[in-house]
Amino acid sequence: MADDRSPVPPPLALVDVTKSFGSVRALRGLSLHLRAGEIHALVGENGAGKSTLVKTIAGVHRPDGGQVLVDGEPTEFTAPADAQRAGVAVIYQEPTLFPDLSVAENIFVGRQPRTRLGTIDRTAMRRATREVFDRLGVDVDPDRPARGLSIADQQLVEIAKAITRDARVLVMDEPTAALSGVEAERLFTVARALRDGGAALLFISHRFDEVFGLCDRVTVVRDGAFVSCDPTGDLDVDTVVRRMVGRDVTSLYPKEEAGFGDTVLEVEGLTRHGVFSDVSFSVRAGEIVALAGLVGAGRSEVVRAVFGVDRHDAGTVRVRGEDLPAGRPRAAMAAGMALVPEDRRQQGLVMESSIERNATATRRWALSRLGLLSSRAERASAREWGTRLQLKAGALTDPVSTLSGGNQQKVVLAKWLSTEPRVLFVDEPTRGIDVGTKAEVHRLLSTLAGQGLAIVMVSSELPEVLGMADRVLVMHEGRLTAELDRDEADEESVMYAATGQRPSEAA
């Protein structure tokens, strides 16, 4: 923040912005200068204040102190409309389009071009949409409804909306969290094109390869305060991580070497028509098996079918030699299975419910006495597991929605680890959680495997897959295309199999 002596004032700057929610100080004197023609990365742990900052820029929150400067002029955003008028556009991780309107209508919603008669000029709307898409190199039909668009395409629609509004400042809040590699690459191409066209971009991500590959400048925030701002070239991953966490993270992937026990889980010929087919694999005690592949390859669906949340059409699942009835999560749990699902908010937790009730949701019968379940028993169990997993929470009676993403994930883990499973499925165990907690989760999984737990991990993050897994199964379009041992698995071999190409060393 020291070097803003450039002659042209930046299109958007925040100076010493503070914002508190009750006793919680979310932003403590944060400064940020977004310059034209630059992609600026904002990194920090979850809870560091990134989202509050984004909402301040978007005009959702009004800062308690400090200034927002537009082209060097102090400005007050009292509502999101003010921010839009100032040329600020925010692309969220999961855009909210109107599903029943067409793509073009979504782009021009609220400001449709009119004909002379005052009716909506659909032709002009369509033409303008096509022009923007051509500029972005996007191939989406302007007339199709927004329903059914992939998240990547929805984000591009949002970007197109921003461009037609002549936005000069584009904020992207974790845009790649739900994108596949190819989709993310396409987004980056668009981002670079916008930068070269003179826009100022703010890019928020937990993925360092993206931050370093895309951005020109990196601002690190911690606990709502500014830590550093440097050109990307002067930084490396270790430095950034240390600044984010405020301490050394010993290792992101603390893999413990362990011997394997007997085969615990055998899946044979598992098929669900149109989703996946003929999936067979087995997992031994103490082994971490990763299911890799592109988003949509059917990895989560396989895991859900094995656990019994979804049905399957053919194939068998055996736990320690015994067949499991299909489509019955209860039976799977009784056999010692646990599933930490992909979508924490929708599948993993009841957000309205308290921390303690969520943490004990899987063990209510076990905690009951004579059929009666007391809050005391729930609290004792939740407290025990909270301590074990180093959960950071106020009161256990608070709704679980008040926790940060990482701590929510710990509640899900507590919920399932307390059942003392023999087979643990974890689906995207570290999605959307901060580096510190990420390392904790990895260490935990490693320790559990060391204690003889069989772990199946679905992950879209290659470093996580390669760092944690003893064996990597790769899926492509509903089929297993490769099975790689720890020493044969590298980025190349996994990506080959994930994209369905035959590598030279087929498994």
Partner 1 sequence: MAPERVITTPAADAPETGPAPRPEGARRIVSLLSRRESPVVAVLVVTLLGASLFVDMFATGRNISFLLLSIAAIALMALPMTLIVITGEIDLSVASTLALSSATLGVLWEAGVPIETALWICLAVGAGLGALNGVLVTVLGLPSLAVTIGTMALYRGLAYVLLGDRAVASYPRSWVSGARDPFLGVEGLPWIAVAVLALAVLFAVLLHATSVGRSLFDIGNNDEAARFSGTPVRWTKFWLFTLSGAVAAGAGVFWTLQYGTSRADTAFGLELQVVAAVLLGGVSIFGGVGSILGVMSGVLLLGTARNALQLFGLTSEVLQIVTGLILIASVVAPNLVARVRSRRVPGPNPVPVTGSTDRPRTGEQS
Between 307 and 496, CB nearer to partner 1: 307
- Distance, in Å, from the CA atom of 405 to the CA atom of 429, rounded to the nearest integer, reads 11
Q: Does 61 bind partner 1 (CB under 8 A)?
A: yes
Contacts 24+ apart (CB under 8 A), 493-501: 494/292, 494/462, 494/465, 494/466, 495/181, 495/462, 497/292, 497/293, 498/292, 498/293, 498/294, 498/297, 498/474, 499/294, 500/476
SS (H, E, C) 21-90: ECCEEEEEEEEEEECCCEEEEEECCCCCCHHHHHHHHCCCCCCCEEEEEECCEEECCCCHHHHHHCCEEE
Structure tokens at 193: 């094109």
Mark the segment that binds partner 1 (CB under 8 A) among 85-93, 131-139, 227-235, 488-496: 85-93
Mark the segment that binds partner 1 (CB under 8 A) among 15-23, 128-136, 186-194, 268-276: 15-23
Interacting residues with partner 1 between 483 and 502 (CB under 8 A): none
SS (H, E, C) 289-356: EEEEECCCCCHHHHHHHHHCCCCCCEEEEEECCEECCCCCHHHHHHCCEEEECCCHHHHHCCCCCEHH
Between 54 and 482, CB nearer to partner 1: 54
Are 154 and 112 contacting, i.e. CB atoms less than 8 angstroms apart?
Answer: no
Interacting residues with partner 1 between 387 and 446 (CB under 8 A): 387, 390-398, 402-405, 407, 415, 432-433, 436
Between 66 and 500, CB nearer to partner 1: 66
Between 221 and 469, CB nearer to partner 1: 221
Between 120 and 351, CB nearer to partner 1: 351
Interacting residues with partner 1 between 321 and 380 (CB under 8 A): 329-330, 332-333, 339, 341, 345-353, 357, 361-362, 364-365, 367-368, 371-374
Q: 271 exposed, middle or buried (CB, 10 Å; 0-12, 13-18, 19+)? A: middle
Interacting residues with partner 1 between 223 and 282 (CB under 8 A): 223-224, 245-247
* Backbone torsions φ then ψ of 295, nearest 5 degrees: -60, 130
Between 195 and 363, CB nearer to partner 1: 363
- Parallel/antiparallel/unpaired status of strands 225-231 and 217-222: antiparallel
Taking the complex as a whole, how short is the minimal distance between the CB of residue 411 and partner 1, in angstroms? 11
- Distance, in Å, from the CA atom of 221 to the CA atom of 228, rounded to the nearest integer, reads 7
Taking the complex as a whole, how short is the minimal distance between the CB of residue 474 and partner 1, in angstroms? 25
Taking the complex as a whole, how short is the minimal distance between the CB of residue 226 and partner 1, in angstroms? 15
Between 193 and 395, CB nearer to partner 1: 395
Taking the complex as a whole, how short is the minimal distance between the CB of residue 505 and partner 1, in angstroms? 38
Taking the complex as a whole, how short is the minimal distance between the CB of residue 315 and partner 1, in angstroms? 21
- Distance, in Å, from the CA atom of 94 to the CA atom of 252, rounded to the nearest integer, reads 27
Between 393 and 498, CB nearer to partner 1: 393
Q: 31 exposed, middle or buried (CB, 10 Å; 0-12, 13-18, 19+)? A: middle
Between 107 and 473, CB nearer to partner 1: 107
Q: Which residues pair with 204 in a beta bridge?
A: 42, 173
Count residues contacting partner 1 (CB under 8 A)?
A: 87
Between 58 and 472, CB nearer to partner 1: 58
Q: Does 101 bind partner 1 (CB under 8 A)?
A: no
- Distance, in Å, from the CA atom of 44 to the CA atom of 339, rounded to the nearest integer, reads 29
Taking the complex as a whole, how short is the minimal distance between the CB of residue 470 and partner 1, in angstroms? 26
Between 31 and 419, CB nearer to partner 1: 419
Taking the complex as a whole, how short is the minimal distance between the CB of residue 126 and partner 1, in angstroms? 21
Taking the complex as a whole, how short is the minimal distance between the CB of residue 240 and partner 1, in angstroms? 17
- Distance, in Å, from the CA atom of 136 to the CA atom of 338, rounded to the nearest integer, reads 44
- Please identify which residue in 51, 164, 280, 316 interacts with partner 1, judged by CB under 8 A: 51
Taking the complex as a whole, how short is the minimal distance between the CB of residue 92 and partner 1, in angstroms? 6
- Distance, in Å, from the CA atom of 168 to the CA atom of 195, rounded to the nearest integer, reads 10
List all residues 6 or more positions away from 474 whose beta carbon is below 8 Å from its beta carbon: 291, 292, 293, 480, 481, 482, 483, 484, 494, 497, 498
- Please identify which residue in 33, 35, 40, 50 interacts with partner 1, judged by CB under 8 A: 50
Interacting residues with partner 1 between 157 and 196 (CB under 8 A): 158, 173-174
Q: Does 95 bind partner 1 (CB under 8 A)?
A: yes
Taking the complex as a whole, how short is the minimal distance between the CB of residue 365 and partner 1, in angstroms? 5
Taking the complex as a whole, how short is the minimal distance between the CB of residue 30 and partner 1, in angstroms? 12
Between 87 and 286, CB nearer to partner 1: 87
Q: Does 23 bind partner 1 (CB under 8 A)?
A: yes
Mark the segment that binds partner 1 (CB under 8 A) among 68-76, 86-94, 482-490, 496-504: 86-94
Q: Does 222 bind partner 1 (CB under 8 A)?
A: yes
Calculate the CA 54 to chain-centre distance: 17
Taking the complex as a whole, how short is the minimal distance between the CB of residue 449 and partner 1, in angstroms? 22
* Backbone torsions φ then ψ of 236, nearest 5 degrees: -135, 170
Structure tokens at 3: 């070097």
